[in-house]
Structure 1
Amino acid sequence: MNFSDVPSSRADAMSDKTSMHRNAIILADANNFFASCETVFNPSLAGRPLVVLSNNDGCVVSRSAAAKQMGIVNGTPWFKIRGQAAHDGVLARSSNYELYASLSHRMMHVMSGFFSHQEVYSIDECFLHGTLDDERTYETCRRMRETVLRGVGIAVSIGVAPTKTLAKIANHWAKQHPSSHGVTLWTAIEREFGDDVLRSVPISEVWGVGRRITKKLMGMGMTTALDLCRADPVLIRHRFSVLLERTVLELRGTPCIEDESDASNGARSTQILCSRMFSSPVRGFSTLSQALSVYAQQACHRLHRQGSLCGSVAAFCSTSPFSKDYSHVGNSVILDDPSDSPMVVAKAACEALRNRIDEHAPYIRAGVMLLDLSDSGHFSTFEGMDAQRDEHGIGTVLEDAARRFGPRRVGIGYGGIRGKGRNDADTGASWTMRRNMLSIRGTTRWDEMPIAHA
């Protein structure tokens, strides 16, 4: 069967005049999100091979459709393909996190107005819930897609199905088949192709099936989503887990996966991690502690924003894994009482690695992790054992300053003199993240706002 000749999902949906009202899961996913964001304020990039790089311009993390057609794979180190990319006309951009987050917020806001419930699953995708019949669901999704493209400049693909797992498959179908016009209804493709739809999906591409589970399932003779759909759910639960059992049931059309915490608010229930690679190796505790202090304050920002306390603080650093003298150092400190104070957390992060590192080792990465999280509003214990709350309001002051003047305009301790020029929102220290191919931050910087000439 040639799946490239799939008829329009709209035609299929509208041909079913007996379609009944049903609960539908709608998955809207931006196409090549980071790369697509780069074209919003630079239309000349549209249709060209473009890659977006990770921290410190390290590896490819997003590719335009043209770059994918050239065989460039996510995770490829940029230094390995830089020469060939220049020869082939491939363009590269540093990760513009400010721009991506801003456009994601706009995109999610637009889509939230089309259906009654929205679950932001990640920066570039969300689940929506609908109760309309197939025809009206399709038309609403089509209008939503056109509104996002016209108002934000980002193309999205939409899959509609009775479960989240099937919505993922329908969404992937919409991406792979231009005749679907970016919107695919599971009922339409299932009616047209039957079991061949699930048979065309490799087991490794089923949502919720990881790499290790894939190997075990293939060892049992399961190679496609259809094989997993036909498996005994009880056997799957005993051999693997209740989570994979839910995947089996979802493939059969039974909703089993509940909504998770909205990714747009960044809430974490178990830990908060802030980790970065340095643009150049760091030696000595005095310099390393600068980075630890900055990362601790960034982690505290998230902690404060979600109204939590942390009971312990972990810090770590490591040298290059490719060096023969690879070294990884990590340690944790249990706080006397749970705290949300950036002063307490930053001090604990530095103390965790004091006298533990090699003063001459070239560390290329460090991070701070806040553990044992609890709800600040409901924390209670014995009298005299209260939490170390931010009684002086330093965290609030830092939040207000960042909101009014931008990030890292004020902080605790010496974290490296603030950068200049386009890097004025970061420290000016040698370990600051490198972004040499950064595009304009047209939605968050007054001095980088694009100018339209009439």
Structure 2
Amino acid sequence: MPGEHAPASMVVLADANNFFASCETVFHPELAGKPVVVLSNNDGCVVARSNEAKQLGIINGTPWFMIREAAERDHVIARSSNYELYGSLSRRMMSVLSTFLPGQEVYSIDECFMRSPWDGERTRQICLAMRRTVLQGIGIPVSVGVAPTKTLAKITNHWAKRHERSHGVTLWHDLAQSDGGAGILASIPIEDIWGVGRRLAKRLRGIGIRQAAQLRDSDPVAMRRRFSVQLERTILELNGFPCIYDDDHAGGNTRNTELLCSRMFGEPVQGEDHIVQAVSVYAQYACRRLQRQHSLCTTVSAFCSSGNVHTGIPSAAHGSMTLPDPSDDPVIIAAAARTALHGSIIPSVRYARAGVLLTGLIDADAFHTLPTLGANSDPGLSSVLEQVNRRFGPMRVGIGCAAGIRGEGRASEEVGARWAMKRNMLSQRCTTRWEEMPVVHAN
């Protein structure tokens, strides 16, 4: 039966407000109260906005070049994506949140689920204290939603974000007191429900379901037969039956079947030499993630594509290499990625993207073979590279084809090559770089 094994505790969802934009104000308090936008890779599109930027009508996904002039007139402050800073502040925030309530499930970089075994009022007070502590200690504003299920906690959390009178903490019980939550659910478009994507929303609208309230009142069994078991679970969750359980790997960046590292170039490049340099760097990035989750890969694929650079004819190249033995060795994987593309690069084509895909992932601890044989595991090179980069700065040393030797400039994350990602408006990485730590002067 739905909810048969559901925990009796309430679900608590803590979600940072405008996380990327909020991170930019932590070490630059002069940005508070001003319109701030954070841009995607190569400073392409808007991916995060402060409340003030939202009030100006700036929409996520808008190409920066289209609104640059208007943004300058409105005194909008743009920042390149500072992934090191965001990741560091996220880990600090999650660490603080975990001290208040048990059962933390980090769902993404800016949100986590927790469990509260206490009654509503005590839970509210704990959540208010938790929110104050994160704001004071980390500098990130957080909104908290409390509900019997994860889906309702998502809805409640969004309500807390939009209504200042909630003081950042809202309980579903308070919203549902008068009409069981029907009024709240009737105001939520179907596509805004957690787990309902654009395609599914379009299909649901086709049968007359346009609001969360209509979905809640539909027959879960019939909807499962027509759509999926996941939609059935969403319906049950909207009715207060917990049936979406914790995922141990939800926010851990763990991949069970494949692992991809792909980037757009700072500017299009030609020639195999440039492409294999980029592929070598991306292979090293992929290996870091592979080792972090204690996995081995059996197949290495590499690809590059031109897209529609300057309205030219799209062109792509790709190849795969099956490894003799499963491996997490960056030397082996980088060499396989370069070999996979060798001979397939067209010299006249200007390529705009490249990537490395690791597939056939297996658990390194569970891999067993004959006693004298084993995986081609990293002999320790990655840890040496990590120590060098930690001491002397990122990308000071790497593997193959100058892949890892960075060029001039503080903002260079990779090699300073033409294809390196552009982040011309990058703020200081105050928590991970000694040379970029903020300096305070006492008068």
Structure 1 length normalisation: TM-score?
Answer: 0.92
* Residue 3 of structure 2: aligned partner: none
State the AA in 2 paired with 1:289: V
State the AA in 1 paired with 2:217: R
Query: Deviations along 1:283-322, whole A, 9 cap, x unmatched?
Result: 1111100000010011001111211100101111111336
Give the distance between the partners of 1:359 and 1:150, measured in 2 at CA.
55
2:260 to 252, 263, 273: 273
Alignment of 1:201 with 2:195, yes or no, is no
1:237 to 224, 236, 240: 224
Query: Deviations along 1:215-237, whole A, 9 cap, x unmatched?
Result: 11111110011111111111111
Of residues 437-446 and 127-136 in structure 1, the stretch that sits farther from structure 2 once superposed is 437-446
Pairwise CA distance, 1:382: 5.0
* Residue 294 of structure 2: aligned partner: 307
* Residue 87 of structure 2: aligned partner: 101
* Residue 4 of structure 2: aligned partner: none
Aligned sequence identity (%): 58
Alignment of 1:366 with 2:350, yes or no, is no
Give the distance between the partners of 1:269 and 1:404, measured in 2 at CA.
32
Give the distance between the partners of 2:128 and 2:113, measured in 1 at CA.
15
Give the distance between the partners of 1:373 and 1:189, measured in 2 at CA.
45
Alignment of 1:87 with 2:73, yes or no, is yes
Pairwise CA distance, 1:417: 3.7
Aligned CA RMSD, in angstroms, stands at: 1.7
Give the distance between the partners of 1:396 and 1:379, measured in 2 at CA.
21
Give the distance between the partners of 1:22 and 1:135, measured in 2 at CA.
16
Give the distance between the partners of 1:29 and 1:286, measured in 2 at CA.
44
* Residue 355 of structure 1: aligned partner: 343
Of residues 410-419 and 68-77 in structure 1, the stretch that sits farther from structure 2 once superposed is 410-419
State the AA in 1 paired with 2:437: M
Alignment of 1:320 with 2:307, yes or no, is yes
State the AA in 2 paired with 1:110: V
1:172 to 137, 144, 158: 158
Give the distance between the partners of 2:252 and 2:229, measured in 1 at CA.
28
Question: Structure 1 254/403 Cα, relative in aligned 2: closer, same or farther at 3 Å?
Answer: farther
State the AA in 1 paired with 2:295: S
* Structure-to-structure mapping, 1:282-431, within 5 angstroms: 282-321=269-308, 323-381=311-369, 386-390=374-378, 392-413=379-400, 414-415=402-403, 417-423=405-411, 425-431=413-419
State the AA in 2 paired with 1:133: D
Pairwise CA distance, 1:386: 3.2
State the AA in 2 paired with 1:165: T
* Residue 143 of structure 1: aligned partner: 129
Pairwise CA distance, 1:277: 0.9
Give the distance between the partners of 2:355 and 2:129, measured in 1 at CA.
44
Query: Deviations along 1:222-261, whole A, 9 cap, x unmatched?
Result: 0011111111111111111111111111111111112113
Of residues 336-345 and 145-154 in structure 1, the stretch that sits farther from structure 2 once superposed is 336-345
Q: How many residues align?
A: 433
The alignment partner of 1:332 has SS state of strand
Alignment of 1:249 with 2:236, yes or no, is yes
Give the distance between the partners of 2:38 and 2:298, measured in 1 at CA.
37
* Residue 9 of structure 1: aligned partner: none
* Residue 452 of structure 1: aligned partner: 440
Give the distance between the partners of 1:300 and 1:395, measured in 2 at CA.
9
State the AA in 2 paired with 1:126: C
The question of whether the paired residues in 1 share the 8 Å contact of 2:396 and 2:404 is answered with no
Q: Which runs of 5+ in 1 are unaligned?
A: 1-20
Query: Deviations along 1:385-408, whole A, 9 cap, x unmatched?
Result: 632222x32223223333444432
Question: Structure 1 349/265 Cα, relative in aligned 2: closer, same or farther at 3 Å?
Answer: same
Q: Which runs of 5+ in 2 are unaligned?
A: 1-6
Give the distance between the partners of 1:43 and 1:393, measured in 2 at CA.
42
The alignment partner of 1:56 has SS state of helix
State the AA in 2 paired with 1:362: R
The question of whether the paired residues in 2 share the 8 Å contact of 1:409 and 1:425 is answered with no
The question of whether the paired residues in 2 share the 8 Å contact of 1:402 and 1:409 is answered with yes
Pairwise CA distance, 1:158: 0.6
Structure 2 length normalisation: TM-score?
Answer: 0.94
Pairwise CA distance, 1:114: 0.1
* Structure-to-structure mapping, 1:29-178, within 5 angstroms: 29-178=15-164
The alignment partner of 2:176 has SS state of helix
* Structure-to-structure mapping, 1:181-192, within 5 angstroms: 181-192=167-178
State the AA in 2 paired with 1:152: I
Query: Deviations along 1:315-343, whole A, 9 cap, x unmatched?
Result: 11111336241123222222122111111
The question of whether the paired residues in 2 share the 8 Å contact of 1:202 and 1:225 is answered with yes
The alignment partner of 1:278 has SS state of strand
Pairwise CA distance, 1:383: 6.3
Give the distance between the partners of 2:368 and 2:303, measured in 1 at CA.
30
